[in-house]
Structure 1
């Protein structure tokens, strides 16, 4: 039986340290961490890696259920995947242990509230954006790459490669190629 930990934060500016420490205290022998946003499992490579190698009797530990999934569908899929492998899920900050019927029920309830909270937050965000647009205050992100078009073209003429240009100017390689292609 192995105890695996999974830590996730939504943005690059957030720290994984608190979750990692809690998972270590919970006895996790392996802790996988990632900084990935979104409401689905897409792009969560560390989670997928963990789910691939859990086996009979293993335990997957998270600090809170919302670190694992933000939608009921994903949460249920993860529960079923763990169950089919003979593994269970525990949360350090919530009374969740899917090895018991009570723990599974509680996890389901929390999952519903997590999904509801995400939907409300998205709705409020869209309302705020719509209001700001109507008032002429929402202009979107500034076009950083386009503002550097002249620099990109000059650097390219000097023989500097697209990857180096992108790094030096703090823009994506795709932007560099787009600018070079328009000249």
Structure 2
């Protein structure tokens, strides 16, 4: 049985393209979710898919980064599938089929390259932010909490929990706003 797994990172993204590709590939069952792929934690549909597959099945994804963002997570997932007797196939990187030794080798190489590219992308982003900060262009995210409202409520004698409840914010945010003195 072919079992598909589709994932996008945010609720504003669409799963349609992946779902169509998985259906076209002949997947009998498809699990999908809108969750960050930075970790396997909290990805309930991935857990459901991994629990669902049985010996002889093949887990299918459209791209490697839909399953995992780090080589460690990818290898861990593939190892678990292998121990269950489940193959893995990636549609867009069609040579990746863990039922073959070449596919296993290619999977390892591509996973390492993908992780390397993600690290470089994060590094470039950090460098860009630092340049923008030094040029006075980057100021960070706009404040979402009105510090003056927090201080006003504190001046009225309210405690941190009461202020947080009144403003609909976390108590830790109240204390950060008070500590910042903005």
Query: TM-score under structure 1 normalisation?
Result: 0.78
Partner of 1:159: none
Q: Report the alpha carbon displacement of residue 82 of structure 1 after superposing the two structures with TM.
A: 0.1
Alpha-carbon separation, structure 2, partners of 1:147 and 1:14: 33
SS in 2 for 1:144: coil
1:25 aligned residue = 24
How many Å separate the matches in 2 of 1:29 and 1:174? 44
Comparing 55-64 and 43-52, the one that deviates more? 43-52
Report the equivalent of 2:110.
Answer: 110
Q: How far off is 1:146 after superposition?
A: 2.2
Q: Distance in 2 between matches of 1:39 and 1:117?
A: 14
Aligned residue in 2 for 1:75 = 74
Could you list the runs of 5+ residues in structure 1 that have no partner in the other structure? 154-161, 167-172
- When the two structures are aligned, how many residues end up with a matched partner? 163
TM-score by length of 2: 0.78
User: Where does structure 1 differ by over 3 angstroms across 4 or more consecutive aligned residues?
Assistant: 147-150
Deviation string 1:91-149 (CA, Å, 9 cap, x unpaired) is 11112111111111111111111101100100001001111111122211112232794
Q: Is this contact kept in 1: 2:133–2:139, CA < 8 A? A: yes
Q: Is it true that 1:59 corresponds to 2:58 in the alignment?
A: yes
- C-alpha distance in 2 between matches for 1:148 and 1:51: 49
- Cα distance in 1 for residues equivalent to 2:142 and 2:35: 23
Q: In structure 2, what is the Cα distance between the partners aligned to 1:148 and 1:49?
A: 46
Quote the Cα distance in structure 1 between the aligned partners of 2:144 and 2:86.
47
Secondary structure at the aligned position of 2:89 is classed as strand
- For residues 5 and 62 of structure 1, what CA distance do their matches in structure 2 show? 6
SS of equivalent to 1:97: coil
CA distance in 2, matches of 1:38, 1:122: 15
- Residue 20 of structure 2 aligns to a residue whose secondary structure is helix
Gaps of 5+ in 2: 154-164, 178-182
